[in-house]
Amino acid sequence: MDLWHNVAFFYLVTTVIKFAVIAGFVLTVAALLTWMERRQSAYMQDRMGPHRASFFSFRGKPVTLWGLVHVIADSTKMLFKEPFMPGAADAFVFQLAPAVGFVSSLMIMAFVPFGPDLHTGLEAPWDVIPLQLVRVDGGLLWILAMGSLGIYGTALAGWSSNNKFALLGGIRASAQSVSYEIALGLTLVGMLMVSGSSELSAMLEVQRGDILGGWLPRWGLFLQPVGAMLYFIAAMAETKRAPFDMPEGESEIIGYFVEYSSMGFGLFMLGEFVEVVVLAALFSTVFLGGWMPPGMAVDGSVHLGPLTLAAGSVGLALLGMATFAFKVLLMCVLQLQVRWTLPRFRYDQLMDVGWKMLLPWSLVNMVVSMAAIWWDPTFTKLLQLNGVLTFLFVLVVAAGPKRTERAAPQGMALGDSHGH
Amino acid sequence: MAIKVRDRVEFGAYERSYLPEVIRGVGITLRHLLGNLFGRKETRALQTLNYPDEQRVYPKRYRGQHRLLAREDGSPRCVACYMCATACPAYCIHIVAAESDDPEIEKYPAAFEIDQLRCIYCGLCVEACPEDAIRMDTGVHTPPFLSRDDAVMGRVDLMALSGQAGTPPAYGAQNAREGKPRGC
């Protein structure tokens, strides 16, 4: 067909298909997370969680799908509720805000490669289909920019609601995001220096192969363990979920979406889960080798017993996408686990963690990594120094003084206003 | 005035670095999660019972709905001696005695009513009965009522459960007594 020789048409078709895959994946997982969050937290707290909704039976037993039907029930409820808006609210901004937050976090996924390049065997430019929506130099900067844009959703919602509590939530969100974005960027600098590129598929290239004589895949997690840990913390703060859910703070101010009902609120909630998925995808790509299954050969092929999946083959693409999905789901579960384990930080603690812990350690990590890479570009020194850094960290933490019970001075107990 | 002196807790670098304690906390919640997901049902911490679908097995001595036992010919064993009504601390048993046609038996209950709303299920009537005519071993819950009159179970109602001993019924079976619709 002549149409296929049109490059623009080729790009259009492949892009639309890729978009359907990645958007479908993110939104499905985000919807799944609403269920997972409730069931997982329930099982952590020795409860059962919602599992009884069903709208049809099979062989006389109602089909509940382990509670998955609740996802449908919840979204149906959200869609059919009255979208209420306060009379004094700024109507345009009020309705724009949920979409801003949702879209900007969803856009991040465009820069994340979700599978290996497909080789079609045709001549250029039809030879390679990258399984990545947008491959552009400086992709990481785009991602950071989109992540920062997400905060506009909360800030606008807080401002336009014309509600003191919503405004407080919006301000908290802005302050928190500004504090943690610095650490968020700095922790990624380590991986930027390792890969020498801010394009995510190039960052994956550098993670190909193994280290320590084949014992470990050469993932960012092992090249940058401190960076990975700090990034995870900072990025969790960016998702605005517990223990960093100051902007929501349902027990104190209810938060920036206090005036939202119906699908406006639904978008905020779904956007939060999209952020969780996006963080999981970013972490998997930058630190966990993305779509690359462990044990992948340096030439990009995978050997599964007698079966060999060559680089660029459809089989490898499928395996890569499955690996990516698995890693993303694993990181999502980990985030939910942390979210349901820890209580909310106090605001000063939140700022302490951001400025006094994440920022200095990410600077140290950056300087050490810089020195190591300058010293030895094959990353051997980087690994050694990172080992030393991790060891020092463990030493400081583990050998440091532990909690001590100190008796309160007599006569101080009465009228003691300390506490929370 | 009692003054509670509370010891201050000073956190060291270990706690203030958050990480080890966070990992410990996640470990605890993870243990609960995995234990509840994959653990044996008897030993796991999650003890929720999906009530209508799953029912707890009652102990053998569980006191449920009363039943009046019958003789071989189907007539009630009860001799209307009023022992149970006398023993009853809630005064919920009302008996009207009548003379029996059988020369071997002096009296029989023309009416034997138990007001289920008054009954406290103490089992004293069972203890008091000299004829072993009343038992509470049906394992049946008191059914829901729509009116107070429905709560008074007569001789026929109580005899209907005559042969039923110790088996917890399936959900909903309580309402199907004697085919009498209870409207619930």
Q: Do A398 and B36 touch (CB under 8 A)?
A: no
Residue A119 in this model has a pLDDT that exceeds 80 = yes
Among candidate residues A246, A90, A272, the one with its CA nearest the CA of residue A168: A246
Q: Do A403 and B6 touch (CB under 8 A)?
A: no
Residue A418 in this model has a pLDDT that exceeds 50 = no
pLDDT of residue B178: 38
Beta bridge partner(s), residue B70 = B76
Chain-wide mean pLDDT for chain A?
85
- CA A319, CA A324: separation in Å to the nearest integer? 9
The whole-model pTM stands at 0.81
A390–B contact, CB cutoff 8 A:
no
ipTM of the complex: 0.82
The mean pLDDT of A270-281, rounded to a whole number, is 92
The alpha-carbon gap from B167 to the nearest alpha carbon of chain A, in Å, equals 24
pLDDT of residue A391: 80
Residue A19 in this model has a pLDDT that exceeds 80 = yes
Backbone angle region of A196, left / alpha / beta, with phi > 0 → left and psi within -120 to 50 → alpha: left
Q: Which residues of A touch B6 (CB under 8 A)?
A: 408, 413
According to DSSP, residue A239 is labeled T
Residue A299 in this model has a pLDDT that exceeds 90 = no
Which of B14, B34, B48 is most worth mutating to test chain A (most A CB atoms within 10 A of its CB)? B14
Residue A25 in this model has a pLDDT that exceeds 90 = yes
Two structure tokens written together for A240: 């605005």
Pairing of strands A216-217, B134-135: unpaired
Cβ contact A10:A4 at 8 Å: yes
pLDDT of residue A408: 54
- The third-level CATH classification (topology) of the domain covering B67-172 is Alpha-Beta Plaits (3.30.70)
Written as tens digits, the pLDDT of chain B (184 aa) is 688 877 777 777 777 778 888 888 999 999 999 999 898 877 888 888 887 777 777 777 788 889 898 888 888 889 999 999 999 999 999 999 999 888 888 899 999 999 999 999 999 999 999 988 998 888 778 888 898 888 898 888 888 876 666 544 443 344 333 333 333 3
- Minimum mean pLDDT among A35-44, A344-353, A398-407, B42-51: which range? A398-407
pLDDT of residue B97: 93
- CA A227, CA A237: separation in Å to the nearest integer? 15
* DSSP sequence for A309-346: E-TT-HHHHHHHHHHHHHHHHHHHHHHHHHHHHSPPPP
Residue A413 in this model has a pLDDT that exceeds 80 = no
- CA A202, CA A200: separation in Å to the nearest integer? 5
Report angle CA B41, B44, B46 to the nearest 5 degrees.
Answer: 95
* DSSP sequence for A114-180: -SPPEE-SS-TTSSEE-SSS---TTHHHHHHHHHHHHHHHHHHHHHHTT-HHHHHHHHHHHHHHHHH
pLDDT of residue A241: 86
pLDDT of residue A93: 92
Cα distances (Å, whole numbers) of residue B128 to B85, B117, B133, B177: 9, 21, 10, 27
Q: What residues does each domain of chain B span? A: 11-48, 67-172
List A residues 325-354 in contact with B (Cβ-Cβ < 8 A): 337-338, 340-342, 353
Residue A292, Cα to own-chain centre: how many angstroms?
18
Which residues make Cβ contacts (< 8 Å) with residue B25, sequence separation at least 6?
Answer: A341, A342
Cα distances (Å, whole numbers) of residue A95 to A53, A182, A201, A267, A288: 31, 30, 36, 11, 38
pLDDT of residue B171: 38
pLDDT of residue B179: 38
- CA A239, CA A177: separation in Å to the nearest integer? 9
Cβ contact A203:A195 at 8 Å: yes
Beta bridge partner(s), residue A211 = A216
Q: Which residues of A touch B3 (CB under 8 A)?
A: 413-414
Q: Which residues of B touch A403 (CB under 8 A)?
A: 9-12, 14-15
Question: A417 pLDDT band (50/70/90 cuts)?
Answer: very low
- CA A31, CA B13: separation in Å to the nearest integer? 40
pLDDT of residue B181: 38
pLDDT of residue B165: 61
pLDDT of residue A339: 92
Q: Do A406 and B5 touch (CB under 8 A)?
A: no
Nearest to B12 among A357, A402, A407 (CB): A402
- CA A141, CA A185: separation in Å to the nearest integer? 9
Q: Which residues of B touch A48 (CB under 8 A)?
A: 46, 48, 50
Nearest to B5 among A341, A402, A408 (CB): A408
